[in-house]
Amino acid sequence: MTKATNHEYVPDEVDHQLIRILTNDGRASYRELAQYVSLSETRIRVRMQRLIREGYIRIVAIPNLIKLNAAQIAMLGIQVSGNIEKVADILAEYEQITFLTICAGNYEIIVEVAYHNTNSLLEIIQKIRSIPDVKNTDSFVYLKTSKSLYSADPGIMSF
């Protein structure tokens, strides 16, 4: 663990190794992590608590909504003609939106939405289009997800 000059915590190579392991297996025990990086469980516990406290990682379960038959997923590209951050703040409050990013390109905002049927997808699209400064939306309905970062092999992730 290293510290930056402004007293902000900066993860070191061992922390990055822990993050790579946990990206593949979020349930890895402190014992398993300790063995992998050749440190004591106590030192791993301290590192993990700091990574969590400082906001570098969160340990969560990520349900596969499609497999659970709980929802279908679509991506929406949103063109904004005014205050992008204001529109993003409004969208962030919608419970159907599971991911939101402000980006460059044809769309100022891209969101992922979880929906139960085409009627509920239409409702969320209409709700988004009614936001002031939303110029246009395009929809991309997911048919099959072949790769997701959450299941990435830790060996391919580099920091």
Which of these, 106, 97, 22, lies nearest to 59 by C-alpha position? 22
Which CATH architecture is the domain 2-53 placed in?
Answer: Orthogonal Bundle (1.10)
Q: What pLDDT score does 70 carry? A: 64
Fold topology of 72-141: Alpha-Beta Plaits (3.30.70)
Q: How confident is the model at residue 72 (pLDDT cuts 50, 70, 90)?
A: confident
Selection from 117, 123, 124 nearest residue 98 by Cα: 124
Q: What is the pLDDT of residue 85?
A: 98
Q: What is the pLDDT of residues 115-158, one digit of tens each?
A: 989 999 999 999 999 999 999 999 999 888 787 765 444 444 44
| Phi–psi pair at 35, nearest 5 degrees | -65, -40
pLDDT for position 75: 97
Which H or E run includes 114? strand 109-115
The ranges assigned to domains in the chain are 2-53, 72-141
- Residues 22-41 as b or e (16 or more Cβ within 10 Å = b): bbeeeebebeebbebeebee
CA 19/CA 28 separation, integer angstroms: 11
The string of pLDDT tens digits covering residues 8-62 is 889 999 999 999 999 888 899 999 999 999 999 999 999 999 999 999 998 887 7
Both structure tokens of 14: 């061992």
Question: pTM for the whole thing?
Answer: 0.65
What is the rounded distance in angstroms from the CA atom of residue 150 to the CA atom of residue 142? 17
